[in-house]
Amino acid sequence: MLPESLCDRIGVVLISPRNPLNIGAAARAMANFGFRRLTVVTPYAPTWREARSAVGAPELLQEAKSTESLAEAVAKCTLVVGTGCLTYRKPEQPVVQLPDLATRVAEELARGGRIALVFGPEKHGLTRDDLSYCHIMVEIPTDSRQPSMNLGQAVAVCLYELATRVDSHPFHKERITAGPSAALRSAQDDRTAGTSGSLELLALLIEEAMLAAGYSPKGMQSANRHDVRLLLRRLSPNAKDLRRILGLFRRILWRIKRASASSTHPD
């Protein structure tokens, strides 16, 4: 099993689950493999914390976070992993097979990042908008005659892969678990990806600049917002570059607004 220090940087996010028993089963699976960070986004049933299926994990349910949006749930994460099958969707982000997920997660942990595994509602899984917050999508191999899985089972399968593979990855354990020396911290900062919250802040700033420049007509605003969100996660700028890009777009927006004000109110 993974050490607690690594499990604490990997969280499970459930979006609008309808059945409290499935939430309890997911919590039980998390406890089985040593994971503790659970976030539930807009749960359907108000009594989900009382699910009796959370055998051995009632404290985990009580300590779980509840948020009103996926953006809020993953704001502090540097790698957001959507889950599902490809039978009914064409993902717009890179697809990783479940056995290969440990490699991507180990790399992110070695950089000091935080990871979220995101699971959609039981009826239809993650929506296109949900997936726009995800850096990658992981596919759980299933028989084509029954491609979908129960929510609790999907959580268990994914966490088993991480619990048994990440710690044995070729990345040396000391690179992941040991705190970086002062000499390495600066280089690590340059490699650490920007958080999802920072990417969303930049996406909103870019959208505001596009609107101010007249680039995004009303009928295209939703599509442009979606495309910008995906593009930023595909590019995955590190934290240092992200700060620079934010400063650049703030300056651009200020210039656009200043020019607009001057043309409206000439001296």
The pLDDT value recorded for residue 256 is: 92
The pLDDT value recorded for residue 87 is: 74
**Matching residue, tokens 């099993």:** 1
Of 136, 259, 119, 135, nearest to 200 (Cα)? 135
> What are the two backbone dihedrals, phi and then psi, of residue 130, each rounded to the nearest 5 degrees?
-55, -45
The pLDDT value recorded for residue 228 is: 96
The pLDDT value recorded for residue 82 is: 96
Q: What is the pTM of this model?
A: 0.88
Question: In CATH, which superfamily holds the domain spanning 4-177?
Answer: SPOUT methyltransferase, trefoil knot domain (3.40.1280.10)
Domains in the chain: boundaries: 4-177, 194-264
* Cα 197 to Cα 79, 107, 209, 250, distances in angstroms: 11, 20, 19, 17
Query: How does DSSP classify residue 114?
Result: -
Task: Give pLDDT < 50 ranges for the chain.
Answer: 172, 178, 180-187
Residue 257, SS3 per DSSP = helix
* Cα 163 to Cα 16, 183, 225, 230, distances in angstroms: 25, 30, 35, 28
> Residue 141, CB half-sphere, CA atoms under 13 Å: how many?
7
